[in-house]
With several copies, the nearest count.
Chain A
Amino acid sequence: MSMEDLYQEIILDHYRKPKNRAPELADEAVHVHHSNPLCGDEMDLRIRVVDDRLDAVVFDGEGCSISQASASAMTQAAVGRELKDALDLAEDFRRMMHGDDPARPDDLGDGIAFTGVAKFPVRVKCALLGWMALRDAIQTFERGASAHTVTHEE
């Protein structure tokens, strides 16, 4: 288990200088709070939706480098996408974490740097936290609600 397999340089960059990290979002459509009690990870995710598109995605939270960096990379990959498309991308990332080859490597952007995490089962849930929050935020929006709290492990 070498550190380099897990912590690619891109991951460390996102960890050190997270993108779209913010505690608030003007005109937010949905705010979801996800937590993983086993790790103690906490994640607030906010989305703004314009014409069925993710106009803005910001996160805030606490957790290990993997969870924070993955959320940061996720926001970059997701913003500007149609909701359905973003859901599909989240599913692609989830499958990648379970060892499958991603179908949309280019669209995942920096998210692709997390491929190696699949080899570290205990860290998979960390990498997924932001993406699963995104999925939930979109589904919450589609249900017509504006906030949702989820406690989970995957």
Chain B
Amino acid sequence: MAIDVAAVRRSLPILDRELDGHRLVYLDSAASSLTPEPVLDAMDRYYRWSRSNVNRGVYPLAEEATDLYEGARTVLAGFLDADPTGVVFTKNATEACNLLAYGYVRAHLGPDDVLLSTVMEHHANLVPFTQAAAAVGAEVRHVPITPDGLLDLDAAAELLADGRVTFAAFVHVSNVLGTINDVPRLTRMVRDANDRAVVHVDGAQAAPHLPVSFRDLGIDSYAITGHKMLGPTGIGALVARPELLERMEPFLTGGDMIRDVTLTGATWNDVPHKFEAGTPMIAEAAGLAAAVGLLEGYGMAAVRAHERELTAQLLDALGTVAGVTVHGPKDVDLRGGAVSFALDGIHPHDVGAMLGSRGVCVRVGHHCTKPLMRCLDVAATTRASSYVYNDVDDLEPLVDGLEAAAAFFAR
């Protein structure tokens, strides 16, 4: 079943907004997606009907809140084909990566260990691990990219050859290049080189757009973030093998994550609760569960097919604009819907301003991937990124805006 874009758009009142007389064309879903009404309704229902804190309440509101929250865990686990016991809710994907960096890397690795990363990582999946590596004295190696923006797996093989890589963290889908990395293959390479290695994947740009089976990926942990997958702000998750969580040290400490506390020490609750300190994001979990419900309703295969088609059209459309250079793979089978490009001689800030003045919302900048910018030898890019509410009608305003920018800023 194809995505009924018109129906999706009807659930998004924001799309009726006009910007200076222009129709709103939202092409910035890689930064944050729009939020359909059923998601808002789910949060509202909690606030208007079951508002209370979770855990140990003995009155009905508190039980409902707990059910909503724990139910969201099960829903997310089902969506990603993972064990609910392995789902730790965090405030965003960044916290999920930090949880692993503190709870595992800092706690268990040392100077004999080597971490594998790549040059295309988002800062969220890079800085926590480079900081952790520096703290424990471990080396970090980076898989480079090929000229078409794919991970260079031959180079990866060399980096792995000495068998010292015991931890790998890389991105599933690049937020800049759009590249869909072959996670099972790189994971096998890592494990073949060292079967004790722990493999972490940043799925922030993958879970919203592709069918994902945590089990089939064969990895140890996966970070996601709600606000990029039709969900609310303020919630993300680390999805992990429960055995990995068992081995991890607690990170944030406080209420609810303890078993017992004395004045000087504490013992810890069972996983995943051991990693959820304090009052959790209850409304947000309800909202995320509703967002997952929508995505499951569309079907992730259909979501992917829709975006593959739209990305092909976007690449074609960009090809018609003089001076546009697309970064990343041109083959739509190898890429998602985030498309970064340069417009010859014009700074992305100026491009973005022109597009914004015409109602076209794109992101310009380094997209939290400074090392990748250096590889591409650019300071910034302009990025258009699509989702289930976009269709081919959104491409013409983009193309027109780019042509207007080229004319306006011509020297």
Contacts and interface: CB of A to CB of B under 8 A. Distances in A.
The answer to whether A and B touch in the complex, with CB atoms under 8 Å apart, is yes
Interface stretch (A44-52, A80-88, A102-110, A119-127): A119-127
Contacts of B378: 40
Contacts of B349: 39, 63-66, 122-123, 126
B49 interface: no
A40 B267 CA distance: 15
Contact of A151 (B56, B57, B260, B408): B260
Interface string B259-288: 110000001011000000000000000000
Interface string B385-411: 000000000000000000000001101
Contacts of B408: 3, 7, 12
B356 interface: yes
A2 B359 CA distance: 10
A123 B59 CA distance: 12
B350 A64 contact: yes
B63 A40 contact: no
Contacts of B267: 37, 151
A38 B350 contact: no
B63 A121 contact: yes
Nearest to A121: B63
B380 interface: yes
Interface string B365-386: 1100010010000111000000
B379 A122 contact: no
Given A1-B20, A7-B408, A63-B347, A122 B63 contact: yes
Query: Which of A7, A38, A42, A153 is packed against the most chain B CB atoms within 10 Å?
Result: A38
Given A7-B408, A121-B63, A122-B63, A151 B259 contact: yes
Contact of B56 (A62, A63, A66, A122): A122
Interface residues of A, number: 26
A34 B272 CA distance: 23
Nearest to B70: A121
B176 interface: no
Given A1-B357, A3-B354, A122 B409 contact: no
A3 B353 contact: yes
Contact of B347 (A1, A6, A12, A65): A65
A113 to B, nearest CB: 16
B409 to A, nearest CB: 6
Interface in A70-87: none
Contacts of A3: 353-354, 357, 408
A62 B379 contact: yes
Contacts of B57: 122
B90 to A, nearest CB: 23
Contacts of A66: 349-350
A16 interface: yes
Interface string A5-28: 011000010011000000000000
A41 interface: yes
B100 to A, nearest CB: 25
B60 interface: yes
Query: Which of B20, B269, B347, B356 is packed against the most chain A CB atoms within 10 Å?
Result: B347
Nearest to B373: A40
Given A3-B357, A15-B409, A65-B409, A37 B260 contact: yes
Contacts of A64: 347-350
B94 interface: no
A42 B350 CA distance: 16
B206 to A, nearest CB: 26
B357 A39 contact: no
A2 B380 contact: no
A123 B353 CA distance: 10
B366 A38 contact: yes
A2 B58 CA distance: 12
Given A40-B379, A151-B267, A153-B269, 18 more contacts: A1-B353, A1-B357, A2-B20, A2-B357, A6-B353, A16-B411, A37-B260, A38-B56, A38-B366, A39-B380, A40-B366, A40-B373, A40-B378, A64-B350, A122-B58, A122-B63, A122-B349, A123-B349
Interface of A: 1-3, 6-7, 12, 15-16, 37-42, 62-66, 120-123, 126, 151, 153
